Amino acid sequence: MGQLCMKLKPNRYLEADKNNDGTGEERTFLNRVPKTDRKKSAVHDEESAIREQSEKKKKSKSPMPLGMAYIEAQDAEIDPQAQKSQDDKKLIITALNNHFIFTSLTDEDKDMVAESMQLYIFQIGSTVFEQEKPSRSYYVVKSGVLEVLVNGKRVNRIHPGEGFGELALLHDNPRSATVRCLDKTLLWGIERQTFRKVIEEMNTQIYEQNREFLEKVALLQPLSSRQKDSLAASLVACKYTSGQKIISEGESGQQLFIIKEGTVSVQKGSQEIARLHAGGYFGEMALLTNAPRSATCVAIEGPVKCVSLSRETLQKTLGNQLQDIIEKNTIMEAINKSETLSYLNKDQKDSIIRELHIKSYKGGDIVIQAGTLCNSKLYIIITGRLQFAKTTQLFADKGTAVGDVHVTQTLAEDQKYEDDMIASADMKVGELTKYRFEVSIGGRYEDVVKENAATNVLRKVYLFNTLDSTKMKELFGIIRSVKYAEGETIIKEKTPIDSVYIVKRGKVDLRKNGELIRTVMKHDYFGERGFLIDNISTVTAVANGSVTVWVIQNNDFIQLVNENMRKQLLKRIKIEDERVELKDLIVIKMLGKGMFGKVYLVRPASAFQLYALKAISRRKIDVYAIQEHLLLEKHILLLIDHPFIVKMVRTYKDEKRIYFLLEYVHGLELSMILRHVGLLSNSDSQFYIASLVLVLQYLHERDIIYRDVKPDNVMVDSNGFIKLIDFGTAKQVQGRTYTLVGTYHYMSPEAIVGKGYNKNADLWSLGICLYEFLCGRVPFGEDEEDPYKIYEAILDMNLDYPSDIEGPSESAKSLIGQLLSKLGEHRSGGSIENLKKHEWFAGFDWEGLMHQTIVPPYTPDVGDNFEDIEEDDAELHEPWDQVLNQESEDSDMSIPEVIDTELEEFKSSIPRNWDAGF
């Protein structure tokens, strides 16, 4: 049922987006059909079928009775036990090879798909599927001939060995034709759910196997887990027959090979010098030294399966030469393992690495002489071992930092090494004097670390982004760190509060009357109401797991707060007013309506703070089985608090509806601005792409994949800064996910082929946006509406630039090419921080953007300023309960009568108290 739950998540881009006058000039918080026809959204499996049936039922004079769902291939007899001959498997795989959808599958994938196909037996004249009806399966003809009918007219025939219906494996769009049997026909078929499950299981298994292999490769041990994760996703499978040469002595080396199965003979000249088995590797030295291959490697004893890493992959994924990466990671590992050096920030650690003087020693050489002051120099062992000369006992191994230049108070100033420290074998050591160490980190260790501890957190807290360096340093002396165990109460509702709290590690749940209001995560804060309004807490704060917070007393905090901070605090408090109840809301106007409900512009009766209220019909929640979808959306919105993301205030429920109370964004969609201004300039594109980079960095740090980055989901507010809206497709996941979700033209290749994708899929969509900003069109399938053709164009990855415009700069093309890399791990260049350092962003003021001190390129003229509406204008102020009585919740939409039996089964499994989360 878990898989069914994923596939029934609604396609929220099918919903309407209009204001009352029909102009569509304002964005609602319901998703909708994009305003450009060419950017249609991908359909979420079964849900699209329900919607299509609903639309057609309205037009039909004789709708299908309740419960009589259309079943594809219902005329067939299915033989699940039918055995496949080798000819059958060959026939199926040949058919798979003829369609682009399957080109990214490995041989193992195709074998598994072929093995999972069932035999369908059709009699002459029977129908496989009907035009405009929901799609479910892909078929390969074993025997018989079929005809293809479009609007009742024959347009083609399908013969043995041919496959058809492959788009059904991606999503649930209606069939574009009817297929009928002219003979008794045997088809091999596979349903979408089975297909995606097979591919998911196979690729998860392959990825996990690859990841395990990398852990066994000694050469790669110094790499971080994240780097190994990236490499695991970049491995290329290859197979060799017995006797086949894999690499030849003397040739240039471009690949590192790791053996998965079989045996490899390593030969020099005519002599075998070694045999390698599963888990073994070869070819690494040519990658390190760029020298010709020093030996020949031949597959022996049956077929040999390997995975390979190319030099290009290593360079792109790791961002540098492999040897440099390994050395740097070894040094960084030593720094991070050190109880004291680990407290330095990334820039300081990098500075140490740059300043280190790398020296090589032969076995027996003296590295540290007896009598040397212990606090005079820092040593980092890069390769080899350091031992005592007299006893030969180990003193320090590879990846270890030696020396007390950073904590002089732990030893006497004149303490010295009592014995020579010598190299046990050839080794490399990085050395740094105490003076150069303090220069590289920017001062005395104790002072630097104290500042780091505060800066690392406070620089990321948007509340403090307007503090100058002097005020920031004042913070260092007034904050204190406090730890709380899971479930421990930090502050209690209706009790005095005298501090502001900032989460350094972990999560804190804020509850009011026992109801979860918000979850505060790393770098967010709470308790500010006590500082600005009164000293009584309106919520209870409870540690969600182990939590560390910074605490600032209000008496100290008041000395630091400037006017900008005060305004920011007041704005947040007004938006996040937990006292706002549903019954107290006044409706100003309806902003839009969609498939599942409506969105209203509202305000509390006692204040003039504007909100957007999304009201979702319980009846439709039940029909479309979107309970888990709504809970997931709420969960994600409660985790995030960023100035460039729309904020959720709270949720409500009553007998008829579930409600989301959201920040009202008064502005225009970025897509509308694009249509108005045409092409964006390089600098304007930088502003919007950089804004999205900051948002994605924030989300990805919290393991949230957005999955639908596009201009339609970006609002530009009245100040010109962006707000990412609509988290209906977002998902919190640490590994990979397989659900096909998003908008056709912005989908990544790995999402389309169903082999699993991660947060890097968002970066592909970002690349599409950058191309669109600079070229005025999307790069793949611009003129296509057919999802099949759009997917085909994306997988072809033929990236061209328009000839009718000047086109992007070379640096912009470089970034577009990086973001639209086939391998997702290459898109960031190793990390979002590396992406921000791309040459296209050279000179860009990232700090000014984050602090919103730079001038936006476009400030939308949004017309009506609702914030200026007089409170005595009764015509626009209707109590919420009156609106409920005036409007029928389903007045404009009927519930589909055709309900999938699988959907019914899923609904019956949902707990009756699912809405307890609201």
Helix (H, G, I), strand (E, B) or coil at 236: strand
C-alpha 366/C-alpha 45 separation (Å) is 69
Residue ranges of alpha helices (H) inside 797-890 are: 810-819, 832-836, 846-851, 880-886
The reply to whether 708 belongs to the active site is: yes
Q: At a CB cut-off of 8 Å and minimum separation 6, what does 491 contact?
A: 497, 501, 526, 527, 537, 539, 540, 541
Nearest to 823 by CA among 312, 329, 217: 312
Query: What angle in degrees, to the nearest 10, is found between the helix axes of 901-908 and 45-59?
Result: 120
Q: At a CB cut-off of 8 Å and minimum separation 6, what does 263 contact?
A: 275, 276, 277, 299, 300, 301, 302, 304
The amino acid at residue 798 is N
C-alpha 473/C-alpha 560 separation (Å) is 10
> In whole angstroms, what separates CA 654 from the centre of its chain?
34
Q: Evaluate whether 146 touches 76 at the Cβ level (below 8 Å).
A: no
Catalytic residue selected from 17, 524, 708, 717? 708
User: HSE of 194 in the Cβ direction (CA atoms, 13 Å)?
Assistant: 13
Helix (H, G, I), strand (E, B) or coil at 268: strand
Q: What letter would DSSP give residue 755?
A: S
Q: Evaluate whether 412 touches 373 at the Cβ level (below 8 Å).
A: no
Nearest to 315 by CA among 343, 298, 290: 290
- For 182, counting Cβ atoms within 10 Å of its Cβ (0-12 exposed, 13-18 middle, 19+ buried), the class is middle
C-alpha 128/C-alpha 71 separation (Å) is 10
Nearest to 719 by CA among 569, 848, 853: 853
Helix (H, G, I), strand (E, B) or coil at 200: helix
Q: Compute the Cα dihedral for 723, 729, 732, 736 and give only its sign.
A: negative
Residue holding tokens 């999972």?
116
> In whole angstroms, what separates CA 887 from the centre of its chain?
39
C-alpha 128/C-alpha 138 separation (Å) is 11
Q: Does 614 belong to an annotated binding site?
A: yes
User: HSE of 379 in the Cβ direction (CA atoms, 13 Å)?
Assistant: 27
C-alpha 365/C-alpha 350 separation (Å) is 28
Residue holding tokens 């006497």?
412
Q: What letter would DSSP give residue 292?
A: B
- The pairing of strands 714-717 and 657-663 is unpaired
Which residues participate in the annotated binding site for ATP? 614
Residue positions annotated with a catalytic role: 708
Binding residues, by number, are 614
